[in-house]
Amino acid sequence: QVQLVESGGGLVQAGGSLRLSCAASGVRYIIKTMAWYRQAPGKQRELVASITSGITNYADAVEGRFTISRDNAKNTVYLQMNSLKPEDTAVYYCNVHTYFSDHWGQGTQVTVSS
């Protein structure tokens, strides 16, 4: 069974930083893409950042502040979040994509106070 374990969320002050981690285990096939999504109350889940073979993509709202990286040997993806804003408050979800399936983490809460 595939398991994605997320960590690094928490409560921070505006302007602060957090680093999210997501470690995948039990994946039987090649991981093509790893990504971070987020969902705020009353909002749709949105793509924050993704990484595919070293190619990264960012949502306009986070570009320049967030950095996604990947450690293939550890099957782990990271999201470094700097200059956090209250608007970044959401549950952040890790996603891994293979040619056969998508897998989701359980989510980690990020709360940014003003």
pLDDT single digits (tens) 57-96? 999 999 999 999 999 889 999 999 999 999 999 999 999 9
Half-sphere exposure at residue 102, Cβ-oriented, CA atoms within 13 angstroms? 6
Task: Write the CB contacts of 31 (distance below 8 Å, at least 6 apart in sequence).
Answer: 24, 72, 75, 96, 97, 98
Is residue 53 pLDDT above 90, yes or no? no
Is residue 54 pLDDT above 90, yes or no? no
